[in-house]
């Protein structure tokens, strides 16, 4: 059976160079109406190529690489100014749309490599602050972050709905830093689907937030603080491992324009988790059936939420998201959504290599996984051949797969580093000593 990733790339190639996407995602009707050096699809292609160096160097690399690989008519040279003018005519939402194309062709019956948890698509939502260039315009759009030091940064708040088993970002947004995480998380609801199970950290717990999931019949798992409410405190005192309780709205708060009253209860299940260091954590979930979902599975289940934390690490440290290529709101959004699209494309290819990895792991002491950092480096320039409409797909796809499989790293279980609380208080990144070099 042909790999689903190949089918997805073939579809992307058609979409990227189609008239439909050009018409839908150009900023004005007159944009890209005449044939120029840089048609719509080629501008997108250039932006896919992980632009992290000087634009002059990136343009030279783009032109030389494509012209050395393709037998079709050569790609014409263009200037930095020409590119900047062209990108202003492209709606940043085009990159979200391309990620959506990947999702629509991933969660399909033919794709046997989709991983599920007890039949659920296992999702997580989290936010993260993204440091932006310091300009007055971006300050007004995204806001600033500061503390008791004199350091002030322009930062936007990202929110992502992430499939932690298949390593795919279903939806994402970059917002003003003043917006709350729960408010942003609910904006992902258009991408919720039947048999989704969403994991949240303790910043998301709240009756109104959970009621929105109840309305749409979406299951969830949320960590709570031990002192969140009397309900949680009483459960901790019982020392029970699991209990089903009634959750009510906060009786001290006025309820206005809501579909519930102070007497409307939600059935939730509280789970007591004992960590390796003896500390207690409490999880709240809508999964009430202890026969299907025994309490013993929830510690490992909640730990899977860590996948979205490593996703943000990939965005910032491996894909270098914060190396923005422009200073306008549109440029920032283009870079943000484009980077997430590249991450989704990389995951699509890697997900189809799981059988190859299992075969490779048969004769090794430890299981191995694809080296994510290097895989993004291998995508540099090769993504041009992968997605260019006139480039043959088989050869570059096979080359990428071989490079991915050749460069793996061992999976070392039960490793943890003590969290350094307050290490970013001065809003400056500390020197991080790491055993890997930048790949892009």
The predicted-structure confidence for 26-81, as pLDDT tens digits, reads as follows 999 889 887 766 899 999 999 999 999 999 999 999 999 999 887 767 888 999 99
The pLDDT, as a whole number, for residue 250 is 85
The pLDDT, as a whole number, for residue 71 is 72
Calculate mean pLDDT across residues 413-431.
58
How far is it, in rounded angstroms, from Cα 399 to Cα 403?
Answer: 6
Q: Is the pLDDT of residue 316 over 60?
A: yes
- Between 250 and 431, residue with greater pLDDT: 250
Q: Is the pLDDT of residue 233 over 80?
A: yes
pTM listed for this prediction: 0.93
Mean model confidence pLDDT for the chain:
91
The predicted-structure confidence for 94-110, as pLDDT tens digits, reads as follows 999 999 999 999 999 99
The pLDDT, as a whole number, for residue 440 is 81
Q: Is the pLDDT of residue 392 over 90?
A: no
Question: Domain extents for the chain?
Answer: 4-93+338-410, 114-309
Calculate mean pLDDT across residues 267-272.
98
The pLDDT, as a whole number, for residue 434 is 54
CB 390 within 8 A of CB 378: no
Q: Is the pLDDT of residue 390 over 80?
A: no
The pLDDT, as a whole number, for residue 211 is 96
Comparing 119-128, 159-168, 419-428, the range with the smallest average pLDDT is: 419-428
The pLDDT, as a whole number, for residue 435 is 57
The pLDDT, as a whole number, for residue 34 is 73
Q: Is the pLDDT of residue 302 over 90?
A: yes
How far is it, in rounded angstroms, from Cα 165 to Cα 360?
Answer: 20
Q: Is the pLDDT of residue 216 over 90?
A: yes
């Amino acid at each position: 059976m042909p790999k689903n990733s190949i089918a997805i790339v073939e579809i992307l190639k058609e979409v990227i160079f189609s008239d439909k996407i050009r018409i839908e995602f150009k900023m004005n009707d007159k944009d890209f109406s005449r044939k120029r050096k840089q048609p719509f699809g080629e501008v997108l292609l250039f932006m896919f190529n992980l632009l992290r160096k000087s634009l002059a160097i990136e343009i030279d690399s783009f032109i030389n690489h494509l012209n050395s690989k393709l037998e079709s008519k050569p790609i014409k040279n263009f200037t930095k100014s020409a590119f900047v003018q062209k990108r202003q005519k492209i709606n940043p939402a085009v990159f979200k749309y391309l990620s959506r194309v990947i999702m629509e062709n991933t969660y399909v019956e033919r794709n046997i490599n989709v991983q599920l948890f007890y039949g659920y698509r296992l999702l997580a939502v989290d936010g993260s602050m993204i440091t932006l260039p310091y300009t007055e315009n971006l300050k007004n759009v995204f806001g600033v972050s500061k503390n008791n030091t004199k350091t002030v940064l322009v930062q936007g708040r990202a929110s992502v709905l992430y499939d932690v088993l298949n390593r795919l970002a279903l939806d994402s947004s970059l917002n003003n830093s003043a917006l709350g995480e729960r408010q942003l998380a609910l904006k992902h609801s258009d991408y919720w689907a039947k048999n989704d199970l969403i994991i949240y950290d303790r910043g998301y717990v709240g009756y109104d937030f959970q009621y929105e999931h109840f309305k749409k019949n979406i299951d969830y798992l949320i960590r709570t603080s031990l002192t969140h409410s009397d309900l949680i405190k009483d459960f901790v005192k019982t020392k029970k491992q699991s209990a089903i309780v009634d959750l009510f709205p906060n009786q001290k708060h006025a309820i206005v324009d809501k579909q519930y009253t102070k007497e409307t209860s939600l059935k939730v299940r509280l789970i007591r988790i004992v960590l390796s260091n003896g500390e207690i954590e409490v999880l709240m979930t809508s999964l009430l059936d202890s026969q299907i979902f025994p309490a013993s599975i929830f510690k490992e289940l909640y730990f899977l939420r860590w996948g979205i934390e490593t996703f943000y690490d990939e965005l910032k440290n491996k894909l270098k998201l914060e190396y923005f290529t422009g200073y306008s709101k549109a440029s920032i959004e283009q870079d943000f959504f484009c980077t997430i699209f590249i991450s989704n494309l990389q995951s699509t290819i890697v997900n189809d290599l799981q059988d190859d990895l299992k075969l490779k792991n048969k004769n090794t002491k430890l299981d191995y996984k694809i080296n994510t950092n290097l895989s993004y480096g291998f995508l540099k320039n090769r993504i041009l051949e992968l997605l260019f409409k006139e480039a043959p797909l088989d050869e570059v796809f096979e080359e990428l797969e071989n490079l991915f499989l050749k460069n793996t790293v061992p999976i070392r279980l039960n490793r943890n580093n003590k969290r350094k609380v307050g290490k970013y208080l001065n809003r400056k990144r500390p020197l991080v000593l790491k055993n890997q070099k930048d790949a892009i």
